[in-house]
Amino acid sequence: MALQGPEELGEQVEEPEDLDDQDASSISPAEEITLPPGPGGDEETEEAVLLPWDRFSAWLHCICVVGFDLELGQAVEVRQKDPAGSCKLTGKTSICYLSFPDSNSGCLGDTQFCFRFRQGSNKKSSLGSFLETSDRDAPPCLKREQGHYYGYVYFRQVRDKTLKRGYFQKSLVLISKLPYVTFFHSLLKIMAPEYFEKQEPCLEAACNDIDRWPTPHPGRILTLPIMGVVIKVRIPTCYDKPGTSQLVQSAQSDSLVSIVLPTIHEVDLFRCFYPVFFHIQMLWELVLLGEALVVMAPSPAESSDTVLALVSCISPLRYCSDFRPYFTIHDSEFKEYTTRTQAPPSVILGVTNPFFAKTLQHWPHIIRIGDMKQAGEMAKQMKVKKLKNLKTLDSKPGVYTAYKPYLNKDEEIIKQLQKGVQQKRPSAAQNAILRRYFLELTQSFIIPLERYVASLMPLQKSISPWKSPPQLRPFIQQDFMKTLEKAGPQLTSRLKGDWIGLYRHFLKSPNFDGWFRNRRREMTQKLEALHLEALCEEDLQQRIQRHTEVETVDLVLKLKDKLSQAEREQLPVRPGTLPKLRAHIQSIIQTLPEDLQGILHKPSTP
């Protein structure tokens, strides 16, 4: 049974529904709002313009409860969302299966994991533009995804003789576009035990608490009350120094805070990679190059954590291909991702079902994770195994691949981590060492690319206010390769190897394509901003004296278009530029006849 809304718990939803399938009556009046820019936006203005359930929607899409029915199998029992009734998801069956561990996992007690699924993007709404504004300053890895949702799961399985099946099996699932894995898992640890004890009224209270939260603007430190507990978090920005936490604890202001989260999204890399940490450098290369990878693990918790660790190991570079922290045979993309008629796609899958050991045998890189050991136990050094040796999911843990790394193995990091295990170094310290290692490795790789791409930017003196902004010069692979001889990664990394080969392979990958598209967009916007600033510095009144009336009207229309573009694309112009441009437009309009003034004062239609 699927129930909709905190105040409407009783209507069954039988057919899968499309998120985009909304009629006009379900669109919130909040679509008329305008939003404060950036992390330093006016919070009072925000409070005034947001309507009921807008704050909830900024954090979560909906909350589901998935139970086990003897006749139907997994089924959505409750779905909590705003009373407007706009929470509609495709592939509800798939979500049900993703919310439960495979039967072979044997997860008794409480288990937490996450999954990610494809979903058509929403129709445009004003809340959407509000979220785009708050997303502007988010790091690449924390921006909302248009085509995918995350599901954060708290699954409980305990013996119960009163039930026919003999077990109580239920999952509380938070559906969100936000990749705040650590935050939502912490939130579920508070919500789920209360829900399993008190049922629906408890969820309704939690929804009301969340709808009173401020929106997740990058750069803000937020205190978030939920069910009698207060969580303190800071949403990172793209301007933060990588590898640092900006959240400072204050004894005076934190007297009412129950939980302080130093990170909202980072997983414990050392714990996740521990079973295969002799191969971490090779895994970094495989993720960087967007290779098809499958993680076979005994439980969804280990599967999802390992996939998330793989995706984050190339940070601050964004992983631009698809990844599924937990993937099942019921997933809508199962046939697409397991077909043998074409090469495996650029995707990282996390699986637990033994069936995948046979179905994905043709995949080029397979990571087999056993039960994750405690940090005090030493992992045995394992050689990379041949794919033909992988028969079943019971095969020994290790990395099964024929891949030959481009870079020589870094023995120093392995020795450092091994020494930490022997000396019983805290897991948090081991995690920090490994995260710093990956960060420095990725930065050493990406700095030469950043330096070359910056050289494609036209000189500022070539920008004329009365000509179109100049174009970026094209990215030429041969020219970039020539720069590596004197300004390559050898300047910042001690690693030796075939860096040139690694770059050649990377330039063909989805990660390069995604990174370069983003950099090109940023640089094009910078050129537009510089052009706009140059235009504002001109003496436009003197200019129009040489213009005919028709030319003056044309200039006004072009300036209004530039202003509209700057506001729509949030161009990075200097403070005061847009008010100055508005003043220019007004002063030019004043020079025209009254009938034209009336026409030009009307707001332009988008």
389 pLDDT above the threshold of 90? no
What are residue 295's phi and psi, to 5 degrees? -105, 120
Cβ proximity of 410 and 495 under 8 Å: yes
Q: Which two tokens stand for residue 406?
A: 């481009």
> H/E/C letters for each residue in 320-360?
CCEEECCCCCCCCCHHHHHCCCCCCCCEEEEECCCHHHHHC
CA atoms within 13 A of residue 196's CA, in its CB half-sphere: 20
3-state secondary structure at position 502: helix
Round to whole Å and give the CA distance between 76 and 551.
63
Question: Can you give the pLDDT at residue 24?
Answer: 28
Helices (H) and strands (E) in the chain, counts: 20, 13
Side chain identity at residue 525, one-letter code? Q
- Which whole number is the average pLDDT over 44-53? 63
Round to whole Å and give the CA distance between 334 and 236.
34
Confidence of residue 133 (pLDDT cuts 50, 70, 90): low
Q: Which two tokens stand for residue 390?
A: 């992988």
Tens digits of per-residue pLDDT, 267-297? Answer: 999 999 998 889 999 999 999 999 999 999 9
What are residue 104's phi and psi, to 5 degrees? -75, -15
128 pLDDT above the threshold of 90? no
3-state secondary structure at position 231: strand
345 pLDDT above the threshold of 50? yes
Cβ proximity of 578 and 563 under 8 Å: yes
Average pLDDT, the chain: 81
pTM (predicted TM-score): 0.85
Round to whole Å and give the CA distance between 67 and 345.
33
Catalogue the E-assigned strands of 502-577.
none
Cβ proximity of 128 and 122 under 8 Å: yes
Cβ proximity of 367 and 294 under 8 Å: yes
83 pLDDT above the threshold of 60? no
- Which whole number is the average pLDDT over 24-46? 35
Question: Can you give the pLDDT at residue 253?
Answer: 57
Question: Can you give the pLDDT at residue 71?
Answer: 61
